[in-house]
């Protein structure tokens, strides 16, 4: 009887491993990223994971940041986007502080870029910056709103009382063509589906006046929802066209690609996708810079 049990266990284990293997293969692949086509705008989103300032060693510690920061800068340069929205760009502390190691590092090492949607953390949450190429783009305006019953109250807790989450946004103008557009950068609650749904409903509420006046609007970020999920469909029903990102964008900080994309780029208005979106599923300088892959899409804008 014991032998029969072990045989059955081995069969089940083999089936599970085969399923995981097939799922990983289906959600993997690393298409090379070439230069953006002429006269296009390269837009990207990247969750870079927070740093715990009180933790000296171990995952996501200050010591781990020293390992990650060079590869993250290499990833930023490889993406070569005109616009890139970041999520979790936070140096977390249990005490009030104005430290943002990742923000300072990337700005210092990439002088051709500036960060929109940042400011004094007491009045402007700065953990979801939108980097932009200053030679090409001029910042016109920026702001934020929290996924909360009181969205204009900074750091207000989410609809179910969990940790604050928010949307940052920025409006730009192309210096050469005069084309203007807006970007909303979001990160929804991974743990609560109700929070995710109410959050994107609020995004639609805030975005509707911009859409109705004919603005070109990008909504990008970590939605914690796959294509076809209600969280994505709420935005799609409001007129956002999602780039068809295939395969995993979250990899458990291990290169483990178990499910489809949760990081997305979408647009409505005077813009068209110039080619298939790319997910850079690879290490940089031999390291994983974070537990997500960057997602990149090229768009043509017109007046």
What is the C-alpha separation between 166 and 178, in angstroms, rounded? 29
What is the C-alpha separation between 115 and 135, in angstroms, rounded? 13
CB proximity list for 155: less than 8 A, separation 6 or greater: 125, 146, 164
What is the C-alpha separation between 240 and 238, in angstroms, rounded? 6
What is the C-alpha separation between 196 and 233, in angstroms, rounded? 12
Return mean pLDDT, the chain: 92
pLDDT in tens, 238-290: 999 999 999 999 999 999 999 999 999 999 999 999 999 999 999 999 999 99
pTM, two decimal places? 0.92
What is the C-alpha separation between 29 and 27, in angstroms, rounded? 7
- What pLDDT does 14 receive? 37
More confident residue, 167 or 15: 167
Q: Kindly tell me if the per-residue pLDDT of 175 is higher than 70.
A: yes
- What pLDDT does 119 receive? 96
Q: Which pair of tokens denotes residue 192?
A: 């609560």
In 3-state terms, what secondary structure has residue 299? strand
pLDDT in tens, 97-124: 789 999 999 999 999 999 999 999 999 9
- Cite the DSSP H helix spans in 213-269: 230-237
DSSP string, 6-70: HHHHHHHHHHHHHHHHHHHHHT-------PPPTT-EEEEEEE---EETT--SSTTBHHHHHHHHH
CB proximity list for 289: less than 8 A, separation 6 or greater: 48, 68, 71, 72, 74, 75
């Amino acid at each position: 009887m014991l032998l029969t049990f072990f045989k059955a266990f081995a069969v089940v284990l083999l089936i599970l491993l085969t399923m995981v293997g097939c799922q990983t293969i289906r959600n993997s692949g690393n298409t090379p990223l070439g230069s953006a086509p002429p006269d296009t705008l390269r837009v990207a989103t990247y969750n870079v994971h927070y740093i715990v300032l009180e933790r000296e060693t171990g995952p996501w510690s200050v010591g781990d940041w020293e390992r990650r920061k060079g590869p993250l800068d290499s990833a930023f340069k490889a993406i070569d986007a005109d616009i890139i929205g970041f999520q979790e760009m936070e140096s977390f502390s249990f005490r009030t502080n104005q430290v943002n190691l990742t923000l300072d590092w990337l700005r210092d090492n990439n002088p051709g870029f500036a960060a929109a949607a940042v400011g004094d953390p007491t009045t402007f949450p700065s953990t979801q910056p939108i980097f932009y190429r200053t030679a090409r783009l001029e910042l016109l305006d920026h702001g934020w709103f929290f996924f909360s019953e009181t969205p204009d109250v900074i750091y207000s807790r989410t609809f179910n009382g969990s940790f604050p989450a928010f949307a940052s946004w920025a409006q730009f103008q192309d210096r050469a063509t005069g084309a203007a557009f807006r970007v909303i950068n979001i990160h929804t609650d991974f743990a609560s589906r109700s929070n995710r749904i109410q959050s994107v409903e609020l995004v639609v509420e805030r975005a509707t006046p911009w859409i109705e006046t004919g603005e070109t609007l990008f909504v990008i970020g970590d939605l914690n929802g796959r294509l076809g999920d209600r969280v994505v469909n709420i935005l799609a029903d409001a007129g956002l066209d999602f780039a068809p990102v295939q395969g995993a964008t979250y990899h458990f900080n291990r290169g483990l690609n178990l499910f489809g994309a949760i990081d997305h780029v979408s647009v409505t208005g005077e813009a068209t996708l110039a080619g298939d979106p790319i997910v850079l599923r690879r290490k940089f300088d031999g390291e994983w810079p974070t537990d997500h892959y960057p997602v990149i899409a090229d768009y043509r804008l017109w007046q």
